[in-house]
Structure 1
Amino acid sequence: MKKPTYLLFALALTMAACQLSSKKQTLNELKQNIAADFEANTGDYAIAFKDLSNPDNQLYINETETFHAASTMKTPVMIELFKQARAGEFSLSDSILVVNEFKSIVDSSAYTMDIGEDSGEGLYSFIGQKLTIYDLTYEMITVSSNLATNILIELVGAPNVMTTMKSFGANDIQVLRGVEDQKAYELGMNNTTTAKDLAIVMEMIATDKAGAPEDCSAMIKILKDQRFNDIIPAYLPNSVSVAHKTGSITKLHHDSGIVYLPDGRKYVLVLLSKNLNTMEEGTEVLARVSEKVYSYLNQ
């Protein structure tokens, strides 16, 4: 007995749908999809993605374009702190005075930080008191304290941070100064980065090459406590953990991190933006790109 024509048609549609649904997105298709997202939105964007469990999975767009680093430069500062502590220059448990007076790299003139411009405002209540270097490092990363950052940069020295980054092969990261050095800003003396170099930095931490394995583990633990989670982790399942550092100033929003999947795989993802129409728009674009990278890896 012959099947009715409409049943055969429905069967054909079902089979076609199954074939389409079983077709996995290629890495090139993912790249084209992300490039279209970047093109469709106001601003300039960059991505660096590397699957540490499968080196063939790498994706880069505008990865060598220079961006103001904003607070992403605090990760290199953290690395230098652990490096110097390992070398015996100090202990992370040593106490250090919390101050709010710093020297411009232009002419050594004094300047102070504005609590209204700092997301780590809680630290200002400790001015004149002592906290451990570790506590200041934790504040610098997790709540992006600018005050803690400046204290710590003066401790380790920005040139030393640069030397360490170059030893990693991250040659385009510029950590020249602390935060809110207005004289330096007006002369264009800014901290800058590229997506490629931040990816190198995160991979070095993830693979225990940014320092002793126990130091890298400690840095990852701090990065996992990041309080600003509206880009890389925003649309990922709760079972996924992210060790990351964000950065934002006017019309600019970044995120850079290591993503840990429940099955043991991990990948590095860096998402940068500048010249945004609104912070909300740029943040949403990058958060959705992070979601697409995750979905690609979990097809």
Structure 2
Amino acid sequence: MKFFTAIFFILACIICNAQTSTEKLQHQIDSIFKRTQGDFAIAFKDLSTENHSIFINHHEDFHAASTMKTPVMIEVFKQASEEKFSLQDSLLIKNEFKSIVDGSSYSMELGRDSGEHLYVQIGQKRSIEDLVTDMIIYSSNLATNIVIELVDAKNVNKTMRNLGALNINVLRGVEDMKAYEAGLSNSTTAYDLMLIFEALANGNVVNPEADKKMLEILRQQKHNDLIPHLLPEDLNIANKTGWITGVHHDSALIELPDGTKYILVLLSKNMKDMDAGTKMLTEVSKMIYDHVK
């Protein structure tokens, strides 16, 4: 009996120390955020224990930038699972879209899109799966608008609500300037992005097979200058970034070689010095990794 009491006491001390360590780290990150010009949010959750989580400004709204492409991908896989289309079906690559404000036409600017290779294929066809992959790993805006036109932004929001993500709002495609000027922009919170990445990790978004495929796409990410930037190369990271003027986000599921998994979402806005703000966020990511490890 004394042996089991001793074991219980040791385990309780370990848990207590871990909680204290997490609380100290939260205070440290909060202090760093306050010292850095701009506005920042973090949602961190260690999936191996409910006691390890950090939330700062996690319910605050941020311009979603390209983080909204993860919800769009989820809607594509959901509709494919409902047999509305096959991921192998082809779509025409075009560069003409309708504003949600008045239905007027607009086109994407090549120089503002990181998925430049797709523009030489205008007039040709690509599979839906290929377009979704380009949307995620290259953050192709052209692919995004083609895919959103297929699934409808309203359906994306409906699916997000069903997943418990109440404050992700995907209203439109990219570069709809009339909508932007009317204040109609896509938005998210750190908490909601954490929820959908956690659901993906647990196979609870569409189905285990579809969720596994989506994570495989996210792990091919080409933009790794935020959460993964200072982390070891042997980690398995599925992430989606987003950036516009004054904004740099990243949202990720990180898996360590020992199987430990955690979700980390870092959001920012109103940054005047993008380099300084991004550098700070990469250091916060490293702090979280060191804490988990």
Alpha-carbon distance in structure 1 between the residues aligned to 2:18 and 2:77: 46
- Quote the residue 2:207 is aligned against: 212
- Quote the residue 1:6 is aligned against: none
Equivalent of 1:189 in 180, 184, 187:
184
Alpha-carbon distance in structure 2 between the residues aligned to 1:38 and 1:106: 36
Q: Tell me which amino acid in the other structure corresponds to 1:172.
A: N
How far the C-alpha of 1:196 sits from its partner, in A, is 0.5
Asked if the contact 2:18/2:52 (under 8 Å) is kept, the reply is no
- Quote the residue 1:172 is aligned against: 167
TM-score by length of 1: 0.91
- Quote the residue 2:141 is aligned against: 146
- Quote the residue 1:74 is aligned against: 69
Alpha-carbon distance in structure 2 between the residues aligned to 1:68 and 1:23: 33
- Quote the residue 1:109 is aligned against: 104
- Quote the residue 2:49 is aligned against: 54
Alpha-carbon distance in structure 1 between the residues aligned to 2:172 and 2:26: 35
Q: Tell me the alpha carbon deviations over residues 248-299 of structure 1, each in whole angstroms, 9 at most, x when there is no partner.
A: 000100000100111001011000000112211111111111100011111x
Alpha-carbon distance in structure 2 between the residues aligned to 1:23 and 1:179: 42
- Quote the residue 1:87 is aligned against: 82
Q: Once superposed, which parts of structure 1, at least 4 consecutive aligned residues long, lie more than 3 Å away?
A: 22-25
Unpaired segments of 5 or more residues in structure 1? 1-21
Alpha-carbon distance in structure 1 between the residues aligned to 2:120 and 2:157: 31
Structure 1 segment 282-297 matched on structure 2, within 5 A: 282-297=277-292
Unpaired segments of 5 or more residues in structure 2? 1-16
How far the C-alpha of 1:225 sits from its partner, in A, is 0.6
Alpha-carbon distance in structure 2 between the residues aligned to 1:262 and 1:276: 34
* Alignment of 1:133 onto 2:138: no
- How many residues are paired up? 277
Percent identical across equivalent pairs?
54
TM-score by length of 2: 0.93
Equivalent of 1:27 in 22, 26, 32:
22
Q: Tell me which amino acid in the other structure corresponds to 1:295.
A: D
Please tell me the root mean square deviation across aligned C-alpha atoms, in Å.
1.3
